[in-house]
């Protein structure tokens, strides 16, 4: 008898949960549908820029990333020296960045 009422209660709870889920899904759709295109378009724009950054040098466009990382050079000079020694190169392997 008790088990029966328990299972009934569970059934009811399950129904309420399902209803909540359904209402939640509906609310989510109502929230997202109006702005789906604006947000997707903004994301697409960012993705396009990212792709351009990744493949720019292959297309002959100088990648601005290396230009900006050049600024880090003074900070990395010590580590750069240790690195080229470890790599078995007595002097800096790069023409435009002299080290020792």
Site residues (vs another protein, CB under 8 A) = 20, 23-24, 26-31, 33-42, 44
Rounded CA-CA distance 71/97 in Å is 12
Closer CB to another protein, residue 12 or residue 36? Answer: 36
Closer CB to another protein, residue 20 or residue 50? Answer: 20
CA distances for 11 relative to 6, 15, 20, 50, angstroms: 9, 6, 14, 50
Question: CB of 24: closest distance to another protein in angstroms?
Answer: 4
Question: CB of 53: closest distance to another protein in angstroms?
Answer: 20
* Cα–Cα nearest to 91, from 81, 73, 77, 78: 81
Question: CB of 20: closest distance to another protein in angstroms?
Answer: 7
């Amino acid at each position: 008898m008790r088990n029966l009422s328990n299972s009934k209660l569970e059934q009811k709870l399950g129904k309420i949960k399902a209803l909540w889920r359904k209402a939640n899904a509906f609310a989510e759709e109502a929230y997202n549908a109006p702005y789906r295109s604006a947000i997707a378009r903004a994301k697409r724009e960012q993705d396009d820029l990212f792709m351009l950054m990744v493949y720019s040098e292959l297309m002959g466009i100088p990648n601005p990333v290396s230009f900006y990382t050049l600024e880090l050079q003074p900070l990395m000079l010590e580590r750069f020296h240790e690195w080229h020694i470890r790599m078995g190169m007595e002097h800096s392997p790069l023409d435009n960045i002299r080290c020792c």
